[in-house]
């Protein structure tokens, strides 16, 4: 069984230790120190140089004391290493493969920088590096796994919000966690990326959430690009038919008989 991540949003405290550990281990450049205007989130999204991203979601709620209060939702996002990976299917050079640990891995020495993988990812994970021109994303710390060491982000997480290991074991633990939360009254808790009925299939990096996926900037129903082929073909066919008829009508010239009739 492949390895993967189980990220529990209810345990995330937004410390960004995972972001820092990921950048430090993989020698990724800083995102700068400019304020984004989105709460404490200065990275905003995953990119070719940010392979772990902590989202800060502020939700206003009424309070007895001040009249206003904020609910915090935090989530450390990462590449999902999908069962059916759109990026891997779109890659024309075979640069994106599934390695011996079940991870979706980009081989930089084979990538030609075509960028086909970028729009093929339904989660917007894959990105092209502006410096190298090559596709880049989370490797699930492939080099650490080969030495039997867990990924840097999971190692650095102080609350065990990020768990790494065998997927079957993680799913069992995640389901138990959801049951425990439900018993404590947190009935909104559920697993995102487990037992998925979409073309993407199960995610090898799945999440425990307490609100709709879109609140955490995740797609409600992730879809592979090929699902749009039939719809796109039909739209193109209708457009081509309309243009053909319009062109034919504009080039049509009435016969002499028709002209006499109009007089």
Please write the tens of the pLDDT for every residue from 200-215. Answer: 999 999 999 999 999 9
Average pLDDT, the chain: 88
CATH of 3-223, one of 3.30.70.20, 3.30.70.100, 3.40.640.10, 3.40.50.300: 3.30.70.20
- Is the pLDDT reported for residue 38 higher than 80? no
141 is in an annotated binding site: yes
- Is the pLDDT reported for residue 154 higher than 80? yes
29 is in an annotated binding site: no
Domain boundaries, the chain: 3-223, 226-262
- What are 70-79's pLDDT values in tens digits? 888 999 999 9
113 is in an annotated binding site: no
138 is in an annotated binding site: yes
Q: How confident is the model at residue 233 (pLDDT cuts 50, 70, 90)?
A: very low
260 is in an annotated binding site: no
In the DSSP assignment, the letter for residue 140 is -
12 is in an annotated binding site: yes
- Residue 113 Ramachandran class (φ > 0 left, ψ -120 to 50 alpha, else beta): left
215 is in an annotated binding site: no
21 is in an annotated binding site: no
């Amino acid at each position: 069984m492949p390895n993967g991540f189980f990220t529990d949003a209810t345990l995330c405290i937004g410390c960004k230790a995972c972001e820092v550990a990921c950048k430090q281990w993989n020698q990724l450049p800083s995102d700068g120190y400019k304020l984004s205007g989105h709460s404490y989130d200065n990275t905003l999204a995953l990119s070719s140089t940010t392979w772990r991203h902590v989202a800060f979601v502020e939700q206003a709620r009424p309070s007895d004391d001040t009249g206003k209060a904020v609910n915090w939702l935090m989530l450390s996002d990462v590449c999902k290493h999908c069962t059916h990976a759109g990026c891997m299917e779109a890659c024309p050079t075979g640069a994106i493969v599934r390695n011996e640990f079940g991870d979706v891995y980009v081989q930089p020495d084979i990538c030609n920088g075509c960028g086909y993988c970028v729009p093929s990812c339904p989660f917007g994970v894959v990105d092209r590096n502006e410096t190298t021109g090559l596709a880049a994303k989370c490797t699930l710390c492939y080099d650490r796994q080969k030495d039997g060491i867990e990924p840097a982000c999971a190692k650095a997480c102080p609350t065990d919000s990020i768990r790494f290991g065998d997927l079957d074991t993680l799913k069992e633990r995640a389901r138990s966690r959801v049951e425990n939360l439900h018993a404590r009254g947190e009935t909104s808790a559920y697993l995102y990326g487990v037992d998925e009925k979409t073309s993407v299939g199960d995610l090898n990096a799945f999440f425990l959430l307490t609100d709709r996926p879109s609140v955490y900037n995740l797609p409600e129903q992730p879809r592979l690009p090929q699902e749009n082929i039939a719809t796109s073909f039909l739209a193109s066919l209708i457009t081509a038919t309309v243009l053909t008829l319009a062109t034919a009508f504009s080039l049509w010239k009435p016969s002499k008989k028709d002209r006499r009739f109009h007089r």
